[in-house]
Amino acid sequence: MEVGVDQDLCCAAGQCVLIAPDVFDQRAEDGVVVLLDPAPPPGLHDAVREAAQVCPAMAISVREAP
């Protein structure tokens, strides 16, 4: 799995951080998403998928490995 974020789309809702705090964080100054792990381990894949699905700005992209 490869994860990406578009900080320009991010609306700083913070749902991704609540769901997958080992993968996402927020900048202190404006709350915009920060990607901590672009290739999370398999144990976090379900949480990352959920975070991408609930992101109101659709700022998270997930590419599954073949």
pLDDT at res. 8: 98
Can you give the pTM of this predicted structure? 0.95
pLDDT at 61 over 90: yes
pLDDT at res. 16: 98
Complete domains list, the chain, with CATH: 2-63 (3.30.70.20)
pLDDT at 66 over 90: no
String of DSSP letters for 12-66: ---HHHHH-TTTEEE-TTT--EEES-SS--GGGHHHHHHHHHH-TT--EEEE---
Write out pLDDT tens, residues 8-59.
Answer: 999 999 999 999 999 999 999 999 999 999 999 999 999 999 999 999 999 9
pLDDT at res. 65: 80
